[in-house]
Chain A
Amino acid sequence: MEDAVPRIAMVGVSKSFPGVRALESVDFCLRAGEVHALLGENGAGKSTLIKIMTGALRQDAGEIRIDGRPATLDSPAAARTHGISTVYQEVNLVPTLSVTKNLTLERQPRRFGLISWRDAAKRARERLARLSVDIDVERPLGAYSVAIQQLVAIARALEEDTRVLVLDEPTASLDAREVELLFQILRDLKRQNIAILFITHFIDQVYRIADRISVLRNGRLVRTAAAVELHRLELISLMLGRELEAVDSAPPPAAAPAAGEPLLAAEGLGRRRYMGVFDLVIRAGEVVGLAGLLGSGRTETAKLVFGAVRSDTGRVRFKGRPITARSPRRSVRLGIGFCPENRKAEGIISELSVRENIVLAMQTKRGWLRRLPVDEQNRLASEMINVLAIATSDAEKPVGQLSGGNQQKVILARWLASKPRLLILDEPTRGIDVGAHAEIVALIRRLCKEGMALLVASSELEEIVAVSHRVAVLRDRCHVGEIAGAGVTRENIVRMIAGG
């Protein structure tokens, strides 16, 4: 098998988007009968690579060979004629339609020009039988579990002549038993000599199913190796790379506050299919970092602690007292703030002005009757615009017209204005330029010196190391350990993520 002609070979493939080099002369090959895991952090170029392979995008340079022959994949249809099938991350099925209809959306069997639903159902059953799935195909898809829906999506992608199957994060919302079911099916397909490209964030799963592993970083393919030969620690280092050395040399955060009463203590918090059970303690004046790879559960932890997502087990104590009926509203009243990662969807209210966006959280704390006087609002807004150096012509500009980094600062300003005791920051520097990056890191340090507690989730280890007194390390939606004080180094975190 080692010497066989690869099913798909990408040779020197490059792709640029305006302002971004998404892929840079990538050589990648996928062999028949293997499960090949493709890994990489945000923006590494994974989706670009899949899109080129499945005909959704065209490469700028380089060549694609299928079974050794050059091929042009200029449309999804062209990719399909070469036997390449894809199951995208967002399942593009219709939950309200029956399984049969979902499986025959594109091509219905016809009799006398009319759709023959009896034949369609038969065809649907046959397709599912290939995956050894036996369900009532007349019931709406939405009536089945996420795992079954995922299998239906695979069944739909699998044509008679499918020779390459691309799976984009198929296990993201499956539980352990369902993952095992899926893996059995993948092993079965492997025996049918189908080449499988498996994109995931779950390191454990990679080692359970993959024959070979490829790692992308910043648009380059940094390594392809057999899974048995690539040590976990090395894999994680390859994914994270070694950049931003400058931040490493920044002075370490001030000494951690003496172990006092916890400000917030999460006990056994968790939610099925979302995040494994964890404990977390945060003290006043302390910065706790959440470190882990993409998809390891950083955002999930932050949202469970804040109450934005309801936990189904565990409880949270704030200043020793349990918080009952947790919700964002309750948390805000108690003095907890949360800057979400996705500022467009969950942060800014783009129609409202910079001023209105900034005073929002503080106004929520005061209640609707005690409106903050306009003078006070203006003072607060201009103060925040100055302190955070928000680039806006004036405070009355709709926040939607600001640049991404400045929108991020406005959300930060919203929470700072509300004077929280605990501020949860999810990716505080995402999409922010280098200058603003340093400002925000400096701001985090100053805030905790003033007694505010911070929980910072970030994909950049350097940032976590630079600001945290203590780091909770996450892997595959579980807290795997904590590092404190002088032990907070990049190497220690990477080792813990790798499970060494």
Chain B
Amino acid sequence: MSREHTNSVGLTAYPRAVLVRLAEKRAVWPLLALALILVVDGFISPEFFSIRIVEGHLFGSLVDVVYRSMPTAVVALGMAVVIGTKGIDLSVGAVIAICGAMITWRLHMGDPPLIVLGAALAAALLCGLWNGLLVALLDIQPIVATLILMVSGRGIAQMINLLYGGTDPSFSSDFFAAISTGHLAMLPSRLFVGAGIFALLWLLMRRTAFGLFVEAVGGNAAAADLAGIDAKMIKLAAYLVSGLCAGLAGVVITADTHTSDPVSAGLYIELDAILAVVIGGGSLAGGRVYLGLTLLGALIIQSLTTSILMSGVPPEYNLVVKALVVLIVLLLQSHKFRARIRRSARPAGKHLP
């Protein structure tokens, strides 16, 4: 992809300047990566871009990619906020398991669905509060603090399952099915849940000063402190946001599988979420939050998984191929790496700036 840069000898000055400026825009590289993956998908399966209407709903591979990426994307949005404060939340997978157990338990107890939903989200917020207290008040390093819940959370979910006997952790609920696998105006209903939380977070980050404070705390904690920002409250709030996002993902995942599965629900989702943030240009060093690009990152990860499955590459190679593509995307994003490529290619194209 760096060819536009390195071998653009034939271009006139104007388009080259445009290209150079474009290359510095953050959104360009993830977008290019997504486009490339989709084009490859198009070659692998000519059906890929076709979207049909079946029983009044949109169907097709593209819809499927967005549908499947939704839980990871929502978790990644919360993760982006936490990473913005120079933190990390490893417990999101465990929070999903706890939510699943809560939903199943309360449904077994015969609570009305809205109460069950409230209970599940309240449990997720409680998890976020726990993480936030450990990080903000006790000053434990985020990776260690959230590791505690990451490890114990799945155990807590198993204990919740015991509350109703635990012999049959499955359920059926029209309400939850409607949230997760149902449709609304031709589209999967979970996309509206995802769009809703995205809109809410965007308002929080860009229409209140919360985003500025998060980025100040993550960018330079000492300076933020001297400017009078209450870093403790900002961090606490960030982990609450991440907990809530994980809770919503937990509701969608649990409603999809109709069961509480403490061992494997949301397993490794924290890694995909972190990856989505990083692909979206967020640095683990903190200081910047890119919500839109994080969504793009989640889409890239899912479309990659889908295309590997479609391509007929033996499943044994899946993870390695995925890792390689991710590595390439990250390298292309790196300012330093691009500069080095440009330098080493300069003798070939001597008119380059």
Contacts and interface: CB of A to CB of B under 8 A. Distances in A.
A130 interface: no
A352 B215 contact: yes
B208 A351 contact: no
Given A366-B209, A371-B208, A372-B209, A349 B216 contact: yes
A328 B209 CA distance: 19
Contacts of A176: none
A369 B208 contact: yes
A368 B213 contact: yes
B178 interface: no
Given A328-B225, A360-B227, A349 B215 contact: yes
B209 A346 contact: no
Contacts of B225: 308, 328-329
Given A347-B223, A351-B215, A364 B228 contact: yes
B177 interface: no
Interface stretch (A78-86, A202-210, A332-340): A332-340
B139 to A, nearest CB: 16
B208 A332 contact: no
Given A328-B225, A349-B287, A361-B227, A371 B219 contact: no
Interface in B221-249: 222-230
B212 interface: yes
A359 B229 CA distance: 12
B48 interface: no
A422 to B, nearest CB: 14
B200 to A, nearest CB: 15
Nearest to B229: A364
Contact of B209 (A329, A347, A367): A367
Contacts of A325: none
Contacts of A331: 228
A361 to B, nearest CB: 5
Nearest to B220: A349
Contact of B223 (A306, A348, A372): A348
A493 B228 CA distance: 34
B171 interface: no
B223 A346 contact: yes
Contacts of B226: 306, 308, 328, 338, 340, 346-347
Contacts of A364: 213, 227-229
A382 interface: no
B106 interface: no
A49 to B, nearest CB: 31
Interface string A338-356: 1010000111111110001
B324 to A, nearest CB: 29
B26 interface: no
Output the residue of A331, A349, A350 with the most chain B CB within 10 A. A349
Contacts of A338: 226
B5 interface: no
A328 B210 contact: no
B8 to A, nearest CB: 25
Nearest to A343: B223
Nearest to B216: A349
A98 interface: no
A349 B219 contact: yes
A414 interface: yes
B265 to A, nearest CB: 34
A356 B219 CA distance: 12
25 contacts: A306-B226, A308-B226, A328-B226, A328-B227, A329-B230, A332-B228, A340-B226, A345-B220, A345-B222, A346-B220, A347-B226, A348-B223, A351-B219, A351-B287, A352-B212, A352-B215, A356-B215, A360-B216, A360-B227, A361-B227, A363-B213, A364-B213, A370-B209, A371-B209, A371-B212
Given A329-B228, A348-B220, A360-B216, 17 more contacts: A306-B226, A328-B227, A332-B227, A345-B222, A345-B223, A347-B223, A349-B224, A350-B220, A351-B215, A352-B215, A352-B219, A356-B215, A356-B216, A364-B229, A369-B209, A371-B208, A372-B209
